[in-house]
Structure 1
Amino acid sequence: MPLNKLTTSIVLAAILALGACNDKAADNPAPKSEAAKDAAGDATIASGLADATKFAAAAKQAGLDATLAGPGPYTVLVPIDAGFDKLPAGALDTLMKEDARAELTGVLTYHILPGAILATDIDKAIQAGGGKALLPTMAGGTLTASKEGNAIIISDSAGTKARVVSGDEKKSNGVIHRVDAVLMPS
């Protein structure tokens, strides 16, 4: 299969996986909160990204902006712009190129969890898990949640840690938690 067809197939598969979020949510062991679903207003996750300019631009480049404006529910761990600045020099520019769209989609969907999950839900899962909770992502990977003091820390498989700097931004199609680093799939 030529590279362009392979890339297109991967991107379409990721978008279809996000579109099937409601189906996967029933099978997902991650905690979900009815309060998160019920407390949202009319604004979608996509409309709540205005101040996260780098994540919003990346979502648009990957074609996920329409998905994040869709029905959900999703929980999105949105790296703040300073979190993107922690990436190696040129990494974001490389991901934003058209020929890297599949890789960019993989990175972004690694920050998306199926269902609406509040910080209290993550806290409860960490306590129930003896200090750690596994959070399946829409990219097919798993993140690990833990606590450092009162802060929720989300780690990727390489050990990169992202601190939740603000959480529980309830939207009509899910929840946004702001994190201070970009997590990378393995």
Structure 2
Amino acid sequence: MTQTTRLGCACGQVHLEVEGAPIVSTECCCNSCRAAGARIQTLPSAPRILETTGATRFVLYRKDRVRFLAGTEHFKEFRLTPEAKTRRVVATCCNTPVFLEFQGGHWLSLYGCLWPAGTLPPLQLRTMTEDLPPGSTLPDDIPNGKRQSVSFFAKLLGAWIAMGFRSPKITCVNGKLQL
């Protein structure tokens, strides 16, 4: 039997569930994730999403293993620039970031703040550490890749193969969030 995990926003109006194991549990240190995280967490009542290292915590799941159960009417997208290939979706009921989606991607990067305390899947790796400011230090508890590693891309490719090379559309986002 496949495990199902229920997640939600900080105020409890948005509910989703994920099925099975994640593709990978990571922290992203790229300039875009750090800039977007800094802007999103300035929203009223928004949870802190940047780690002390400046990284953003994500758990990646295949799109076909994520189900939105309630509250999608609160979803608004935020893009760093109008032409950005990534969108970050925020539950505006309490300004909880829900997911990051790459245009055409077959996975969602779910924000770590969705998991109740003590239930977040263990961190497996950090990516894009070369984007951190000079002098930044990271713990050596997991791999700290300067860029995305071959194994990272292999995990994404394996998930895409398992999905039959499909990339489901996420259509439950209702407008744009201006930051």
TM-score, length-scaled by structure 2 = 0.27
TM-score, length-scaled by structure 1 = 0.26
Give the number of the structure whose residues are more often strand, by fraction. Answer: 2
Give the number of the structure whose residues are more often helix, by fraction. Answer: 1
